[in-house]
Amino acid sequence: MVQCKKTRGEEPIWLGRKNVRGILGKKERNIVVCLGIDGRVAQYARDQIGIAISKRGIEAIGRKFHPAPDDRGHIELAKDHLSKEENKSRVFDLNERKFFLCACYDSFGIKQKGIPNFGIHVVLDLVHGFYPKGKGGSGDVYFAKHGFAGASKEWGCLVFGAAVFFDRKIPERWPSGVYWNQASKSTQKWKYADNPIEPQKEPKLEIKEGVASVRIYNLEII
């Protein structure tokens, strides 16, 4: 999963789609790249959208349907988790599994809105990011426990997330992949050590902005 931010209307989205599609078209494997896109950014990003792209083009688009407390009244929301964007669902199929796109706080909405699982095998959550304490949102543990683990508990499926850690190191133990196996335990009491999955590989790439941690999981693990 890849997350990025855009601040200039729609054109960068389509340029990005063409570039990604062109790269994937050179690969024999069927690969889907997911991106988180912010648009119409002032103090808040009014458009918060997840998009899935393959060599065939756009596979799925999901506008945020469940706002964080600070988002309320500031962003344009989807009517619900089934709403289409540009006539595209937020659900796409890959290797006989159904993937559900979340735009950041949407993963909390799965439980908080009491949404039943409708055949989803994997939730993909494009989180905005985390800052040092006192300099912005820094709830990486809160997100892992109640967003990722909470969604996995509610739907009984795998949950994977990507986020940007601004001006701070990426926590080595922060779980970008979660599977709930703790029965009725409260997510409040869930610990990273309870998570039964971990990446098979974790290469770290030096990029202009810092370091990208790429975590590779095997979907046959569960």
Residues 6+ apart with CB under 8 A from 45: 5, 38, 39, 75
In this structure, is residue 59 part of a structural domain?
yes
pLDDT tens-digit readout, 111-163: 999 999 999 999 999 999 999 988 878 899 999 999 999 999 999 999 999 99
Lowest mean pLDDT across 14-18, 67-71, 177-181: 14-18
In this structure, is residue 173 part of a structural domain?
yes
For residue 205, give the 3-state DSSP assignment: strand
pLDDT tens-digit readout, 181-190: 999 999 999 9
The Cα 148–Cα 194 span in angstroms is: 13
- Number of domain units in the chain: 1
- Find the domain containing 93 and state its range: 11-213
In this structure, is residue 5 part of a structural domain?
no
In this structure, is residue 148 part of a structural domain?
yes
The Cα 121–Cα 222 span in angstroms is: 11
> Any idea what the CATH number is for the domain that residue 172 is in?
3.60.110
